[in-house]
Chains A and B, each alone.
Chain A
Amino acid sequence: MIFIAIIAGLCIVASRAINANLAAKIGIFQGTILNFIVGLIFSIVFLLFSSEGASISRISFISVPWWTYLGGVVGVLVVVLSSYITPKISAFYLTLLIFISQLLVGLIIDYFTLNIFSIGKVIGGLLVFIGLTYNLLLDRRVRKNTIYESL
């Protein structure tokens, strides 16, 4: 299970990078459409192999608030923005920047919807932030040095 959790992370980064390549070839919006078409096909196949399909007629689709259906729209925004930014920034920093703001907004959402405030996540997030900043500064210095060397 631990291995599968790590592989899930690998899938996220790989899919982002491949999507950015596709976007460079056929356009960002066009790439996003293909991303969602292929994703839809895979989702349907997974449903067919799961036990969920049998209970589909018993689900009440209006019992969910309408705005929860907007996740797909937000997903489109994420894929479009990711395809735009991936070629412009290192994969490592993209991953960590996304993580930091995701954690921050996640903490805020948890606080306002569930009234939970996790100190452990704040401390952990802070440590990740320190490590990220240190490496970012290191990169900046290297870039400066290479400019001096080329002069």
Chain B
Amino acid sequence: MNNLVSALIGALIAVMIMLNGTLSNVLGNYIATIIIHIVGLIAITFVLLVSKQKFIINKGTPFYLYSAGGIGVFAVLFNNLTFNSLGISLSLALGLLGQTITSIIIDHFGLLGMKVMKYQKKKLIGLVFIVLGIAVMAVF
């Protein structure tokens, strides 16, 4: 079930990239990013109103937790920068490498409240296949 939801997220991201990419091509990267966020904000506000949940900002919430939205925009900005000079496949492949390394570090040390999943040496074989796959995608 968890794997299925994860796969669904990937499918949604692919659709999202197509929609946002089309929008960015016509309107420009930054204006498109603003519109995407406004539309998203309207959608989630609607969901919150329909579900009749309250919106309370807890004073005990650490400040860094609010940074996720900003970091996400940085990811989009970096992607736009690299797309232009490295091409789409290579920047996607390198981005995946960055994601893989970050995920392994987060799992290994249990950072950001995640469960600790120590890295095993045997997993290196699987990782070699993954890096190989990324390389093949970058070359072709």
Q: Is the CB of B94 within 8 A of A6?
A: yes
Q: Which residues in window 99-133 of A have CB below 8 A to B?
A: 99-106, 109, 113, 118-121, 123-133
Dominant secondary structure of chain A at its interface with chain B: helix
Dominant secondary structure of chain B at its interface with chain A: helix
Q: Which residues in window 1-52 of A have CB below 8 A to B?
A: 1-2, 4-22, 24-27, 29-30, 32-44, 46-47, 50, 52
A-B contact count (CB 8 A): 379
Rounded to whole angstroms, the CA-CA distance of A16 and B11 in the bound complex is 16
Q: Is the CB of A102 within 8 A of B13?
A: yes
Contact of B11 among A32, A39, A102 (CB under 8 A): A102
Q: Is the CB of B47 within 8 A of A82?
A: no
Q: Is the CB of A39 within 8 A of B102?
A: no
Rounded to whole angstroms, the CA-CA distance of A65 and B91 in the bound complex is 27
Q: How many residues of A contact B (CB 8 A)?
A: 113
Instruction: Jot down 26 A-B pairs with beta carbons below 8 A, ordered by A.
Output: A8-B79, A11-B72, A18-B65, A19-B68, A26-B61, A27-B53, A35-B72, A40-B34, A42-B69, A42-B74, A43-B34, A64-B27, A68-B22, A69-B35, A70-B19, A81-B5, A81-B12, A86-B114, A90-B115, A91-B114, A95-B100, A128-B129, A129-B133, A130-B133, A138-B123, A138-B126
